[in-house]
Amino acid sequence: MSKMLHKFRGTLVGALVGDCLGSNYEGVSSTLPWGEVTDYTLERIKDEKEPIHYTDDTAMTRAICKSLTEEKKYDNRSMAKAFVQEFFKEPGRGYGAAVGTVFKRLRDTNPEDVTLPARSQFDGQGSYGNGAAMRISPVALYSRSSSEVQKNAQENALITHAHINGVNGAVLQAEAVFKALPLEPPNLNTDKFIDDLLEVAKKLEEEYEESSKEKEDGGHISTSSPQKKPFLYFKKLKEMKELLNKGETLEPETVVETFGNGIRAEEAVPAAIFSFLHKGRESFQESVNYAISLGGDTDTIASMAGAISGAYWGVNEIPELWKSKCEGVEEAIEFANKIFELKEER
């Protein structure tokens, strides 16, 4: 099997097992003891009779895969349709509280511009939830260049998340997966990885500053707009680099204080990237267990960490136990195969 196909499968299966395993703890307010997490993920699940179910993170990832492989190209209208179909087929997968309204509007009004319903949420701010970032890994697999990753991730995010932090979180998560794909484990240059992401964050945040200045000049946005939080990801990535270079054992509490662990994209995305850089260099398993131990939105942070770590390590490095216990592994592998073929043909 080609090394890259192995990594495509690792990405989608990694995202899937992170979601399934993390969902056991989703919403816990504090960090979790390491022993509690590993006792669950490495021992207690052996006795599970039923498959461990995936949640909205995987449901939406699958919708992106479905659209890509059916259309054989990136098409935002088809993406919106796939999300709507998936949501109404299984609305009980643990979706965020506000995103259902977007799907309902998309279904009921079928707008020409599929980003319209998301833009009207939260008094026109849009959602800053991590729901665009959590699903974005197939876009990283499909895209051929960084600029294509950014463009497609941005378009995709805007279907449900209009807030700049929701969108930029999705772009950075997609870039993290894209940049992990060509790397050869086990020699991870964390400084280089973060520097590349810092460059992306800087560009995104400068573009945003520019566009809000223009809007201000036109009198559309006030300077006190709550949406304005420039250089948020840039700042967190800088802090990440410092933390990783401290060379001492990092308490999960310190990590959560620095990045957060909640449903906001600006918290969950840095927490996931950190889990990969801090523990994913050791093994796939460590990075997912670590992501879960941070608490908070555990399924989503573990799913995003799993996607990056799976892109780095490849599917064979994902524990057999996890692949045998989680729902939907075979489908994830089939989607990876199809997107791999599709990309080869491009």
Site string for ligand 8NA, 253-272 (x = CB under 6 A): ----------x---------
End-to-end CA distance of the chain: 20
Cβ distance 334 to 202 under 8 Å?
no
Q: What is the DSSP string of 178-221?
A: HHHTT--TT---HHHHHHHHHHHHHHHHHHHHHHHHHHHHTTSS
Q: What is the DSSP string of 66-135?
A: HHHHHHSS--HHHHHHHHHHHHHH-TTTT--TTHHHHHHHHHHH--SSTTHHHHTTTTTT---BTTTGGG
Q: Which of residues 159-188 bind ligand 8NA (CB under 6 A)?
A: 163
Q: Which of residues 205-224 bind ligand 8NA (CB under 6 A)?
A: none
For ligand 8NA, which is the closer residue by CB, 94 or 319? 94
Q: Which does 99 bind (CB under 5 to 8 A by kind): ligand 8NA, Mg ion, none?
A: ligand 8NA
For Mg ion, which is the closer residue by CB, 121 or 300? 300
What does the alpha-carbon distance between residue 87 and residue 118 come to, in Å, rounded to a whole number?
15
Among the listed residues 7, 57, 80, 259, the single contact to Mg ion using CB under 5 A:
57
Cα separation values, 338 from 130, 283, 332, Å: 26, 26, 10
Give me the least distance between CB of 181 and ligand 8NA, in Å please: 24
What are the phi and psi torsion angles at 93 (to 5°)? -85, 10
Nearest Cα neighbor of 179 from 165, 190, 163 is 190
For ligand 8NA, which is the closer residue by CB, 120 or 258? 120
Asked if residue 26 binds ligand 8NA (CB under 6 A), the reply is yes
Among the listed residues 175, 205, 266, 297, the single contact to Mg ion using CB under 5 A:
297
Q: Which does 97 bind (CB under 5 to 8 A by kind): Mg ion, ligand 8NA, none?
A: ligand 8NA
For ligand 8NA, which is the closer residue by CB, 131 or 314? 131
Q: Which does 247 bind (CB under 5 to 8 A by kind): Mg ion, ligand 8NA, none?
A: none
For Mg ion, which is the closer residue by CB, 61 or 300? 300
What does the alpha-carbon distance between residue 125 and residue 194 come to, in Å, rounded to a whole number?
29
What does the alpha-carbon distance between residue 100 and residue 79 come to, in Å, rounded to a whole number?
15
Among the listed residues 300, 313, 318, 322, the single contact to Mg ion using CB under 5 A:
300
For ligand 8NA, which is the closer residue by CB, 92 or 219? 92
Cβ distance 258 to 236 under 8 Å?
yes
Tally helices (H) and strands (E) across the chain: 17, 0
Q: Which does 252 bind (CB under 5 to 8 A by kind): ligand 8NA, Mg ion, none?
A: none
Report helix, strand or coil for 264: strand
Asked if residue 94 binds ligand 8NA (CB under 6 A), the reply is yes
Asked if residue 156 binds Mg ion (CB under 5 A), the reply is no
Q: Which of residues 76-115 bind Mg ion (CB under 5 A)?
A: 94
What does the alpha-carbon distance between residue 126 and residue 340 come to, in Å, rounded to a whole number?
33
For ligand 8NA, which is the closer residue by CB, 269 or 339? 269
What does the alpha-carbon distance between residue 336 and residue 23 come to, in Å, rounded to a whole number?
23
How many residues touch ligand 8NA under the rule CB under 6 A: the total is 22
Site string for ligand 8NA, 291-320 (x = CB under 6 A): ------x-xx--------------------
Residues at the interface with ligand 8NA (CB under 6 A)? 26-27, 55-57, 94, 96-99, 122, 125, 127-131, 163, 263, 297, 299-300
Residues at the interface with Mg ion (CB under 5 A)? 55-57, 94, 297, 299-300
